[in-house]
Amino acid sequence: MGGHPLNLALRFALELAMLGALGLWGYRRGGAWGWVLAVALPLTAAILWGVFAVPDDPSRSGKTVVATPGVLRLLLELSLFAGAALALWHVRHPILAGSLGATVLVHYALSYDRVAWLWSR
């Protein structure tokens, strides 16, 4: 189910929501540095997301810059999503934070085959 087009679209939407949440947190908490953090935090997350990948991951192109074990990739993804949910909570958007967290859990439940594949790598 992890490779189903609807689940891949959900995953992409979650990635965009994660980047947006990190940018919002940076802007709201950055003071004079708000705009810098609003760009730097999502950019850093996107770089981590794109660079550290499992070779031959069927949910991606299969190519990677830094070959990463599947368990570490799964931890990276979960950490970034959890950080985004916490960022939303911190800027006083608890409903959005809970919605993001719940949607991430649903996504990974639907992607049980990908999670098992990552766990085996």
- DSSP assignment of 43-98: HHHHHHHHHEE-TT-TTS-S--SEE--HHHHHHHHHHHHHHHHHHHHHTT-HHHHH
pLDDT at 118: 94
pLDDT at 63: 78
Q: In which residue are the tokens 């947006």 written? A: 20
0.85 surpassed by pTM? yes
pLDDT at 59: 75
Which structural domain range is residue 100 located in? 5-120
> 15: closest CA among 63, 60, 55?
60
Token digits of residue 4: 């189903």
How many CB atoms neighbour CB 25 within 10 A?
24
pLDDT at 115: 95
pLDDT at 64: 86
pLDDT at 13: 98
Residues of the chain with pLDDT under 70: 2
* Number of domains making up the chain: 1
